[in-house]
Structure 1
Amino acid sequence: MRYFMTKSSVFYLQKEAWDDTEEYKDNYKIVIKAREQNRLPFIHQSPQFSYRSSLVEYLKQVCVEKKLSHCCLHLAVYILDIFMDNHSIIPERILLVTNVCLLLAAKFEETNLTIPKITELNGAINNRYQIVDYKTLEIVVLRFFQWCIMFPTAAHYVYYYIQSAICEEDIKNKGINMRTIFYNLHHCVSEYLDQIIGNVHYMQCYPPSKLAAAIIAVSRMDIGLSCWTEQLQNMTDYKREDINMEIFVLKTKNPFTDCQKCKTDTNY
């Protein structure tokens, strides 16, 4: 997918505003970090967890077809993970829940022109539900989240951090223009964003801000740049050593954790 985040997103920070005032930048950091702290705890107790892999693939496919942003996709997956973790959903309704989670994320992240219609989402699954089912379940999901789904994901943070992902020294050392460097970085970042939604431990067991910082770091290494810079440290408030674990799990593609559920349930 091409797009990290659309301009309609509440987490979108326009370049003009970024340049105009340091105070706005500092306030933005405070707000997004506060939202990160308010993420709901993940207990890893979903009875329908075996469906997760196919549901995520379905969401990725729809987001590609509808040209929805990475942030929309990641928010939809986060909402789905948390909602499934707290509810027992019959298999016949699982795709309805998935579509509703995507619809809510799209309403939050996308413009009116790109928000998929209920009929389009229902058509993608052979119109197996009634339109009223979607509207009813939307209220159920929103009530569960206490009418607030403004949770930053790693994708949101990546878009935020990527503004400082390349510095003048990188251009001098590589001897190629910034457009080429940024294109290569963008490609690597997109690959890692796709990687992390496939495993619930990436999404739920690591702070999204640290995971996003690690994605920027490993993407820089993948295109031959140094792992970390002072510019990125100032942007993320993380030193290189703060994200060592996240860098390791991304490079090894093994989000090892001390998850007790995984030790007792092989389905996870």
Structure 2
Amino acid sequence: MRDFMTKHSVFYVSINIQNDSARPQIGMCHKLQKEVWQDIEEYKEDFEQVIKLREKCRIPFHHQSPQFCYRQHLVEYLKRVCIEKKLSHCTLHLAVYLLDIFMDNHSIIPERILLAANVCLLIAAKFEENYLILPKIAELNAAIHNRYEVRQYKVMELIILKFFDWYIMFPTAAHYTHYYLQAVLTPSEVKEKQESRRTLFYNIHDCITEYLDQIIDNIHYMQCYPPSKLAAAIIAASRMQIGLTMWTDQLEDMTHYVKEDIESLALQLKTAFINCEKCIKN
């Protein structure tokens, strides 16, 4: 099972932070427990403010990429590399986002398309993964039959980073999904289902993984919806898929989305993916 996010990610926050802090600690007085809980809540609020602010900093998408016809092949290639290298979903989603935006604003000659894709993956991995498993330039180059020189990778990396003004900490649906997992199940649901929390969690994890792998195939899910809303819809669709209600008060508190905000998008994800006239024309 591939991780949604590793603890080395710039957006990492422990999934168990709330549950762990809520447990009584041996030898901890009530006053100290209260202070710890307050610190956790303040941290949670700060995290939410920062990630929401960074979501608003995403570069507008205009659907004007001259290279759009290559996108499906590039995404499949990046998926395959991430699976082989055991890179997280957050790395993949950030790499695809960077590539989409870069291609939307540049006319790249076909001979350099795979170079741009590999460099976007390298940049994303540097922000998301443990340095011990970072893919090496030689490894990525070998995957495409050593088409480029090391120097070309370094030049392309500078070009991409300069385009983004050295700011690439953009949250994706995968980042938000990891965060929302804290509230994906309620104690009453575990009791009603008469299954272990672990079993339910793994079932919903598999559904979420499938949706995350699917949405990057469609550029409009990646670019035309706020990642926080898309992640909330993925959670809702996954809950319905394993027989749970779409939404809970717990998820509303965590995501700040009410059922009406994400219902149509969740049903859309669950039934059929959108088609766009611009995509068809391209």
Determine if the TM-score, normalized by the shorter chain, exceeds 0.5. yes
Structure 1 residue 158, shift from structure 2 partner? 0.3
TM-score, scaled to structure 1: 0.95
Pair 1:204 & 2:223 matched: yes
Counterpart of 1:266?
280
Q: Aligned runs of 1:221-232 on 2, under 5 Å?
A: 221-232=240-251
Pair 1:101 & 2:95 matched: no
Provide the C-alpha distance between the structure 2 equivalents of 1:64 and 1:93, rounded to a whole number of angstroms.
Answer: 23
Provide the C-alpha distance between the structure 1 equivalents of 2:4 and 2:16, rounded to a whole number of angstroms.
Answer: 18
Q: Aligned runs of 1:238-257 on 2, under 5 Å?
A: 238-255=257-274
Pair 1:87 & 2:101 matched: no
Q: Which moved more, 1:57-66 or 1:2-11?
A: 2-11
Structure 1 residue 16, shift from structure 2 partner? 6.2
Pair 1:6 & 2:6 matched: yes
Provide the C-alpha distance between the structure 1 equivalents of 2:215 and 2:7, rounded to a whole number of angstroms.
Answer: 23
% same residue: 62
When Rg is computed on C-alpha atoms for both structures, the one with the higher figure is: 2
Q: Do the aligned partners of 2:237 and 2:267 also contact (CA within 8 Å) in 1?
A: no
Counterpart of 2:198?
179
Structure 1 residue 15, shift from structure 2 partner? 4.5
CA deviations on 1:154-178 (whole Å, 9 max, x unpaired) are 0000000011101101111101110
Q: Do the aligned partners of 1:17 and 1:24 also contact (CA within 8 Å) in 2?
A: no
Counterpart of 2:212?
193
Pair 1:76 & 2:76 matched: no
Q: Which runs of 5+ in 1 are unaligned?
A: 257-261
Distance 1:136 1:52, change over 3 A: same
CA deviations on 1:114-154 (whole Å, 9 max, x unpaired) are 11000000010000100000011101100000001000000
Q: Which moved more, 1:244-253 or 1:160-169?
A: 244-253
TM-score, scaled to structure 2: 0.90
Distance 1:244 1:265, change over 3 A: closer
Distance 1:51 1:267, change over 3 A: farther
Q: Which runs of 5+ in 2 are unaligned?
A: 22-36
Q: Do the aligned partners of 1:50 and 1:267 also contact (CA within 8 Å) in 2?
A: no
Structure 1 residue 2, shift from structure 2 partner? 1.6
Structure 1 residue 249, shift from structure 2 partner? 2.0
Amino acid at match of 2:6: T
Q: Which moved more, 1:17-26 or 1:4-13?
A: 17-26
Note the aligned Cα RMSD (angstroms). Answer: 1.3
